[in-house]
Amino acid sequence: MKYIRVGTSRPYDVHIERGSLKKSGELISAVINSKKAVIVTDDTVDKLYSEALTKSLEKSGISADIFVFPHGEQSKNLHTLGNIFDFLCEKGITRSDFLIALGGGVVGDITGFAAASFLRGIEFVQIPTTLLAQVDSSVGGKTAVDIPGGKNLVGAFKQPALVICDSDTLKTLPEEELACGMAEVIKYGMIRDKNLFEVCETRNISNIHEVMDDIVYTCIDIKRQVVENDEFDKGERMILNFGHTLGHAVEGWHNYTNYTHGMGVAAGMCMITRRFCDSDIVMRLEKCVEAYKLPISTEAPMNELLPFCAKDKKCESSSISYIVCPEIGNAEIRKTTTADFFRLMEG
Ligand code: NAD
Ligand code: GLY
């Protein structure tokens, strides 16, 4: 068992332990007094893990109703959020009760936003069940839903009361979803931790499970440091977006269909590294990315991607911030005019 204390404006623990889903009741009771909760989950995760969670909650005297919505990004919207609010009213949830997000980043983001806004804020616990959610979205307090104008455009900063990471739950993940999380793990190695990158490059999609607890711990600890320094995303936190500006553009170019976020991040990291870094770093990154069956480039022409970059949240009216890793384990934030970025990337 390992745990990490995240020292944000509202401090909380991340508990990392195989099999910890079955101890959730006990872990939650140690930080939350209420005996009434609503579990929010998607239909896939519900079938796999709701029973184990409710049993554990019952043992600790916590009663929980379950709100289930269809899996996938297309559910992370105001319509589902409205249905969650209606369900909370129906179940008589008060300010002293709490929500539990059981699932991937979609469940975590929408549940966190519901917790931030229902009754002007109630407690919530994150139980992330994808690798991406364990190493990234469940920690740091960013919550959001998508609107027709764009992804994650409506949200709030809301830190959870507790995060429980059970790497056993990752064993049921489809390989594509595991790869998606590995893109973020490789990102952490590139921006902050040469040793983590070396672990990634000496393994592959088939044998990475053996070292999963260590990987999850290392990534969350990096995220902790970054978020503690810049909780509200005004500067350093931007390094977490290495590969993401181009990655989001590639995802957008594919209309967010048949192209995962992890594929976008992987291709985006390789594209920016090829443009700005030495060939030995490029070769190592590409080989590592390929070991997890992720792409190193895209068929999308650069001139068609750049307009998508201009819509990125890290893009101000005429300037853009992008992240470069001149060496493995070290990231730099660079800011330039959008026109100059376009010229550099097309060159
Ligand atoms: P997801 O939540 O859609 O999960 C991916 C798929 O895996 C879903 O179909 C889900 O049902 C299934 N699944 C989840 N756990 C499973 C398990 N243990 N076994 C089998 N199947 C399982 O996607 P995701 O990749 O976890 O998260 C992506 C979302 O996270 C995006 O909406 C993104 O914007 C958000 N995000 C947020 C942050 C943040 O800081 N808040 C950071 C990164 C990403
Ligand atoms: N996933 C990026 C962040 O939390 O800032």
Write the pLDDT tens digit of every residue in 177-207.
Answer: 999 999 999 999 999 999 999 999 999 999 9
Write the pLDDT tens digit of every residue in 14-61.
Answer: 999 999 999 999 999 999 999 999 999 999 999 999 999 999 999 999
Write the pLDDT tens digit of every residue in 123-174.
Answer: 999 999 999 999 999 999 999 999 998 889 999 999 999 999 999 999 999 9
- Euclidean distance between CA atoms 301 and 250, whole angstroms: 10
Q: So what's the pLDDT on residue 313? A: 60
Write the pLDDT tens digit of every residue in 256-308.
Answer: 888 899 999 999 999 999 999 999 999 999 999 999 999 999 999 988 988 88
Which amino acid residue places its CA nearest to atom 2 of ligand 2?
A: 240
Contact residues for 278 (Cβ-Cβ < 8 A; gap 6+):
none
Fold of 175-346: Dehydroquinate synthase-like, alpha domain (1.20.1090)
User: Domain spans of the chain?
Assistant: 2-172, 175-346
CB of 314 closer than 6 angstroms to any ligand 2 atom = no
Residue listed under structure tokens 């059981």 = 102
Measure CA of the first residue to CA of the last residue in the chain; give whole Å. Answer: 49
Q: Which of 98, 94, 85 has its CA nearest to residue 125?
A: 98
Q: So what's the pLDDT on residue 216? A: 98
Residue 317 pLDDT more than 80?
no
Pocket probe mutation, ligand 1, options 14, 177, 180, 314, max atoms within 8 Å of Cβ: 177
> How many CB atoms within 10 Å of residue 340?
13
Residue 312 pLDDT more than 80?
no
Pocket probe mutation, ligand 2, options 126, 135, 137, 230, max atoms within 8 Å of Cβ: 137
Which amino acid residue places its CA nearest to atom 4 of ligand 2?
A: 140
Contact residues for 104 (Cβ-Cβ < 8 A; gap 6+):
42, 45, 128, 129, 130, 132, 133, 137, 177
Ligand 1 atom closest to the CA of 143, numbered from 1: 41
Q: Which of 182, 160, 154 has its CA nearest to residue 285?
A: 182
CB of 103 closer than 6 angstroms to any ligand 1 atom = yes
CB of 108 closer than 6 angstroms to any ligand 2 atom = no
CB of 111 closer than 6 angstroms to any ligand 1 atom = no
- Euclidean distance between CA atoms 228 and 105, whole angstroms: 21
User: From ligand 2's centre to the CA of 237, what distance in Å?
Assistant: 7
Residue 343 pLDDT more than 90?
no
Pocket probe mutation, ligand 2, options 139, 219, 240, 314, max atoms within 8 Å of Cβ: 240
- Euclidean distance between CA atoms 162 and 152, whole angstroms: 23
User: From ligand 1's centre to the CA of 279, what distance in Å?
Assistant: 33
Helix axis angle for 338-346 and 261-276, nearest 10°, is 80
Asked if CATH classification 3.40.50.1970 holds for the domain at 2-172, the reply, yes or no, is yes
Residue 338 pLDDT more than 70?
yes
Query: pLDDT grade, residue 346 (50/70/90)?
Result: confident
User: From ligand 2's centre to the CA of 60, what distance in Å?
Assistant: 33
Our measurement of the distance from residue 84's CA atom to the centroid of its chain's CA atoms, rounded to an integer in Å, reads 21
Most distant pair of Cα atoms in the chain: their distance: 63
152's torsion region: left (phi>0), alpha (psi -120 to 50) or beta?
left
